[in-house]
Structure 1
């Protein structure tokens, strides 16, 4: 006799994206069925999978997407800076449609893939926690602040629990010196999502998605109850970015503020 899975059906939006592809196989033990959704091609459904192509800006399609879902991992939308119109449809209208569908379908738990770029205009000398005001560094960051606020409203108004996970830099390894601070390994990402889904109560929580790196900008004290403990660290990659006596220019905002190059990318209007 096989052990019962905790959920009947988990919806993963943005399943064709970089992190969606990582999560597709790794979250299967958590549910009888993983419903995968994206605008892009997801290929053929594997065992225990359902595939639904969906535009998050299409309210009726999102309502249908949510039928029979127990919990949502919302990774859909645009994950970089882009013209505002694109951000508005994918990340702002999209998350509004998602939460209305969650409400109407009676879903009780959402993990919203927020971003460190919701607070990217804090300085690299600041230690930021979830009680501090948002300071987005881009239109993309603004859209994540909107999602955090909207999820707060749906919790206060309807009791829909959400963990807003402000993801750092989740790649196989750091790509630059900044990522020695923001690095979030795939294994740590998966474990943090497990904690977000399986904690008995989460209310409305903002957590920072980051590994146990030697340098830190974010204090996760307000999400400690989730029980997440990072096992990985960027320190093993430090040799790729050796120390230097050269200081960044005084007007180099990518070194002054936590958002890095995102501060140079936006806003964009077309």
Structure 2
């Protein structure tokens, strides 16, 4: 059961892939869902609001956050690429978001971090949230920055944050790597719901992954959140094996948890 503990919820990055997947689902979590992205993205339903904002624009982010009770922050650059856009959206942008949250008294944030914060651990390892970050690119570095910034805003200002290190959230796994990293859309919603409704969130790092038999991530440090995934990549395993070649164990894409991100770049701004 989803409990509406927040009257008005802000979803940033609402026009992105995960934003679209969560738009209808998150309406069960609030009375009014405020949607934001950098540009217009369609019609608005009766229980929705739209506030367009460039995350690098502090004044626009301030207006975006005003009047909300909690934030689900998916906005920003979501792939590896040149540093300039990552700097503006993921580093300056997350600073602007937390400053706006501080000024408006918002006390709970679900921050879409990424598995690429730890992408340089090997696929033969199982790590917990206590493992030091090992980003696999500039995108991963920006998400590690966001985790550290959110920790500071919790310690200094009491803004609780769940840093959700999202694995691979798609309708189904696309390859063998995703058999370990897959997160269904419904489990993503279950995880965000748990982060929004747990009595004491604190500052928590959670791996965003479904109940897959193969996994590289130990979520035991997040038991206090109450996330219980119900989906699994296992039902897709046979089909994935049938359409994909045997892995080349000398390939860094196969050796490291970050997959293709470990070979991306360098990029020219």
The TM-score bracket by the shorter chain reads: over 0.9
- Map Cα deviations across residues 34-56 of structure 1 (whole Å, 9 max, x no partner): 10000132212102100111100
Q: Distance in 1 between matches of 2:161 and 2:139?
A: 20
What corresponds to 1:199 in structure 2? 198
TM superposition shift of 1:249: 4.5
Gaps of 5+ in 2: none
Q: Distance in 2 between matches of 1:7 and 1:232?
A: 26
For the 8 Å contact 1:130–1:222, the answer to whether it is kept is yes
DSSP 3-state at the match of 1:20: helix
- Map Cα deviations across residues 210-240 of structure 1 (whole Å, 9 max, x no partner): 0111111000011011111110000110112
Gaps of 5+ in 1: none
RMSD: 1.6
What corresponds to 1:34 in structure 2? 33
Q: Distance in 2 between matches of 1:173 and 1:4?
A: 27
What corresponds to 1:59 in structure 2? 58
Is residue 19 from structure 1 mapped to residue 21 from structure 2 by the alignment?
no
DSSP 3-state at the match of 1:27: helix
DSSP 3-state at the match of 2:154: helix
Q: Distance in 2 between matches of 1:129 and 1:4?
A: 29
1:237-256 alignment runs, 5 A limit? 237-242=236-241, 246-250=246-250, 252-256=251-255
Q: Aligned pair count? A: 267
- Map Cα deviations across residues 151-204 of structure 1 (whole Å, 9 max, x no partner): 000000101000000000000000111000000001100000000000011110
DSSP 3-state at the match of 2:80: coil
What corresponds to 1:69 in structure 2? 68
Give TM-score, length-normalised by structure 2. Answer: 0.96
- Map Cα deviations across residues 21-45 of structure 1 (whole Å, 9 max, x no partner): 0111111121111100001322121
DSSP 3-state at the match of 2:24: helix
What corresponds to 2:86 in structure 1? 87
Give TM-score, length-normalised by structure 1. Answer: 0.96
DSSP 3-state at the match of 1:53: coil
1:1-270 alignment runs, 5 A limit? 5-242=4-241, 246-250=246-250, 252-270=251-269
- Map Cα deviations across residues 129-151 of structure 1 (whole Å, 9 max, x no partner): 10110000011101100000000
DSSP 3-state at the match of 1:212: coil
Q: Distance in 1 between matches of 2:4 and 2:180?
A: 35
For the 8 Å contact 2:98–2:150, the answer to whether it is kept is yes
Q: Distance in 1 between matches of 2:182 and 2:159?
A: 30
Q: Distance in 2 between matches of 1:247 and 1:211?
A: 23
